[in-house]
Amino acid sequence: MRRRSRSRNISGTTHYHVLLERELADLHHKDAALLFTSGYVSNWPALGTLASRLPGCVVLSDELNHASMIEGIRHSRAEKQIFKHNDPEDLDRRLAALAPGTPKLVAFESVYSKDGDIAPIGDLCDVADAHGAMTYLDEVHAVGLYGPRGGGIAEREGLSHRLTVIEGTLAKGFGVVGGYIAGSVALCDFVRSFSSGFIFTSAQPPSIAAAALASVRHLKTSHSERQRHQAVVALLRRRLDAEGLPHMTNPSHIVPLMVGDPVLCKQISDVLLNYTESTCSRSTIRQCR
């Protein structure tokens, strides 16, 4: 008989869900973690719940934040201010203009998927701390790929303890599916108890949770795979340079190829979608692998 998937709060939590949340909390040096069905789904209810349940909360959002963060903030109906991308000075000005007792939540990403740039996490935390603001960091494009154990940019820079909430995905670097937040026990229980996006949806299948658990544990101890990944990124950049193809310089693994023409960009996308190993020389395949 097939096991029916249930809400986490109503008999949907299994042994593997508990173990995975413990592993993710440890990955980010937090006391607790909470699983969702995707990274998008984790941002929306987490940000929406925190901002809506804190009376008078003002959310300060980086102007290049992901759509899932924007949706969560919009869903909360809290006051929102957008600060200039990766600009601690603009954030400082905006926070200073708010009343001292106002609940404040600063939301930003570590690695931005459009340009591949990395946030000045320490500087943003300094500003937030100076104004008594909470911090919410989206590490979706960094978990599994950066840090001594794959905990992302915050772990790499020794800043995990300074962030109120760290959000991530199990889909990209970890290669499975799902999303999560990590923070204090009280914060995770708060979201668990008040977030409709968590309460009224089915839990991950236990097999998926078990697969994600194995992946997180593996990447925690596999620094060589992160080094190999960076080597592949460097190879790609060298090959693009050799072919005279313009790409945006940044400190991350994201390589934006600057096409500059929407029609040509569509043609390139079509070629890539139809690309198979049969069209690639064996030597090129060997280098890519």
Give the residue numbers annotated as catalytic, written as ranges: 172
Largest interatomic CA distance in the chain: 64
What is the C-alpha to C-alpha distance for residues 200 and 203, in angstroms, rounded to an integer? Answer: 10
Which CA distances in Å does 20 have to 13, 174, 240?
11, 12, 39
What is the C-alpha to C-alpha distance for residues 179 and 181, in angstroms, rounded to an integer? Answer: 7
**206-220 helix and 15-27 helix, angle to the nearest 10 degrees:** 30
How many Cα atoms within 13 Å fall on the side-chain side of residue 48?
Answer: 20
Q: Sheet harboring 32-36: ordered strands across?
A: 32-36, 179-183, 165-169, 134-138, 104-109, 58-62, 79-83
What is the C-alpha to C-alpha distance for residues 82 and 105, in angstroms, rounded to an integer? Answer: 12
Torsion angles phi and psi, residue 144, rounded to 5 = 85, -20
Give CA torsion, residues 20, 203, 105, 138, to 10 deg. Answer: 60
Neighbours of 92 (CB within 10 A): 18
Q: Which helix (H) or strand (E) holds 33?
A: strand 32-36
